Amino acid sequence: MVTGTAVADGARERELVRLVRQDCGSCHGMLLTGGLGQPLTPEALREKPAESLVATVLHGRPGTAMPPWKSILSERDAEWIVERLLRGFPKEGG
């Protein structure tokens, strides 16, 4: 499991929270409880390996609406996002 992942600074963390809430939220629901895409709540992700979730963030899911984000996210960014999703994603700005 991915643990203890840190991104460069608080400003980057705020950018990532906004990206997840806005961009991911456009398919996964603004509260990440599901929409076109699956829910991204801790309960929904509990049985999924963190490494698999990181790979999905970076490479997308071919044949689905899930795009790859590797052009704008580093592996460290994706690990940070997954770690936060598994704990319960913070509110925008928090």
* Residue of 81, 53, 75 lying closest to 66 (CA atoms): 53
Mean per-residue pLDDT, 3-17? 78
Q: What is the pLDDT of residues 29-78, one digit of tens each?
A: 999 999 999 999 999 999 999 999 999 999 999 999 999 999 999 999 99
Instruction: Kindly report the pTM of this predicted structure.
Output: 0.87
> Are 79 and 53 within 8 A, CB to CB?
no
What is the rounded CA–CA span in Å between residue 51 and residue 75? 10
Count of structural domains, the chain: 1
CATH of the domain at 15: 1.10.760.10
Q: Is 41 inside any structural domain?
A: yes
Q: Is 3 inside any structural domain?
A: no
